[in-house]
Amino acid sequence: MSETRSDVIPRAAAGGRATSAPIMGRAAEPTIFELSESGRSSYQLRTTGIPERSLADLIPGDHLRPEAPPLAEVSERDLVAHFTRLSARQFSVDLGAYPLGSCTMKYNPKVCDAVAGLAGLAQVHPGAPAHLVQGWLEILVDLEAALCEITGMAAATLQPAAGAAGELTGLLLMRAWHDANGEQRRRVIIPDSAHGTNPASVTLGGYEVTTVPSDERGCVDMAALRSVLDTDVAGIMLTNPNTLGLFEEDIAEVAEAVHEVGGLLYYDGANLNAILGVVRPGDMGFDIVHMNLHKTFATPHGGGGPGAGPVAVSERLVDFLPGPKPARLDDESGDRFGWITPPRSIGRVHGWHGNALVLARALTYIEVHGADGLRRVAERAVLNANWIRRRLAGSFDVAYDRPCMHEVVFSASALRKDEGIKALDVAKRLLEEGFHSPTVYFPLIVDEALMIEPTETESPQTLEALADALERIVAEARSGDHSATEAPRTTPVRRVDEARAARTLVPTFDARGD
């Protein structure tokens, strides 16, 4: 991969207004080894007064290295400056719009981080006995209750580490329920617009995938669904709104048809952001719901932080939930909270009790917003997506040109046909405008897909700047300027050969490429 130097902030970094102010970290940054100078160090220890002893007196000789490791030698000042400059080269939800469709990459309120940083939460060992962590247990119990109220379900497990773990947990619950009924069902139905992890989770759960197509309106084709339903179907994995950003208008009919053959309905919660406080999966007829707390409820997403994928269930599946789970106690032991294991539990699905600090952040987010605030989250997310849909309808084809929910899918197929500019080129060119790229080539059923989810946290000014940037890119291509095929040109690292990078990965500091 090649690098380029630039000291100009892209347009969107200043809310869409062009600027020529310098930005740190745009030029090529040396590695920590290139900054190294012999004899420098980033720490100093005062003299202890304890007589010096050789390492051989303290550590067995066969445990000692024959020579010192080749570590970089830098001062604390240079070390801090180096990593601070590197941090400025990474895009994040704290720096600007992150319109990745199907991912809900929204701004994270800092009050959630402040709560998660409290010593009484952050410094507790997960193996501490229940009587020493009553406050933590109350948080977990309250979060479970809040999530069940939001989704319309009876109980939940907080153990799954993220979305895919939640999917597998849901499928294991599905299998356990059918096994308890003496049935060995074989297939799980998945729409062709499903998230990519759904088929993989079905396979891991020991089932076979049966795919059903979407109809001309982008929803599940009911005739096709009915044609594959029989007593061999364990359930259906569905997202509502679906991955085209459209609400499944026949969801009650879908639920009735699947339940009629003894199957269960599984809800992929990646798009829960669109329906908070408006409609609940439980009221639609779902039996199993997984939630991505690191998306919907604003915990560290997009920065490599931990996830959380609680799974909530209807009354008939409560006894199968993973254990142990936090619970309010009714006995006279003196502790108000403790751990219980459901009588027919599928067992643990996580080493401890879930990514606890993410769970604390999520409860903070829910408490701060309240019921009315969560509804406003959904309303503004839907409003923003529909504004983008209407604004860009003249620049791109709209895959399904009708009111969407929280995200909208465009197609750059006409641009590719007329100008040779692909969706990938548009996405890479958008990086030069100071925005993160949208999701591209997903859903798979839309040719040259560009999937945008602005979320509720972006202002009208930011949406205007995003729309201006995309319109500018299209106009540039239509004028005969095809430089987008070489984008990005103003980021610290220019376009990489993604196929080569995946096939010949060299994950070391001195990987330069040709």
- 273 closest CA partner among 307, 297, 247, 256: 297
- 308 closest CA partner among 165, 135, 156: 165
- 344, 465: one domain: no
Determine the distance from the C-alpha atom of residue 60 to the mean position of all C-alpha atoms in its chain, rounded to a whole number. Answer: 47
- 431, 284: one domain: no
- 438, 346: one domain: no
DSSP state of 102: T
- 120, 240: one domain: yes
- 188 closest CA partner among 165, 173, 205: 205
Q: What is the CATH number of the domain that holds 440?
A: 3.90.1150.10
The answer, yes or no, to whether residue 363 has pLDDT greater than 70, is yes
Question: Euclidean distance between the first and final Cα of the chain, in Å?
Answer: 7
Q: pLDDT at position 215, please?
A: 94
- 122, 210: one domain: yes
- 396, 324: one domain: no
Please report whether residue 448 resides in a domain: yes
Please report whether residue 103 resides in a domain: no
87 in helix, strand or coil? helix
Q: pLDDT at position 7, please?
A: 36
The answer to whether 421 and 412 are in contact (CB under 8 A) is yes
Measured between alpha carbons, how far is 405 from 276 in angstroms, rounded to an integer?
Answer: 12
The answer to whether 234 and 263 are in contact (CB under 8 A) is yes
Please report whether residue 67 resides in a domain: no
pLDDT band at 5 (very low <50, low <70, confident <90, very high): very low
pLDDT band at 351 (very low <50, low <70, confident <90, very high): confident
Calculate the alpha carbon distances from 2 to 75, 338, 490, 493, 494 in Å.
29, 56, 12, 6, 6
Q: Is 411 exposed, middle or buried (0-12, 13-18, 19+ CB in 10 A)?
A: middle
Q: pLDDT at position 14, please?
A: 37
pLDDT band at 352 (very low <50, low <70, confident <90, very high): confident
Please report whether residue 89 resides in a domain: no
Pick from 367, 385, 414: which residue ends a domain?
A: 367
> Which H or E run includes 224?
helix 222-228
Q: pLDDT at position 303, please?
A: 57
Measured between alpha carbons, how far is 425 from 412 in angstroms, rounded to an integer?
Answer: 10
Pick from 367, 401, 418: which residue ends a domain?
A: 367
The answer, yes or no, to whether residue 3 has pLDDT greater than 70, is no
The answer to whether 347 and 169 are in contact (CB under 8 A) is no
Count of domains forming the chain: 2
Pick from 322, 344, 367: which residue ends a domain?
A: 367
Percent of the chain with pLDDT strictly greater than 90: 72
Percent of the chain with pLDDT strictly greater than 70: 90
- 342 closest CA partner among 155, 161, 131, 130: 155
Domain interval for residue 212: 111-367
pLDDT band at 11 (very low <50, low <70, confident <90, very high): very low
pLDDT digits 0-9 by tens, 422-450 = 999 999 999 999 999 999 999 989 999 99
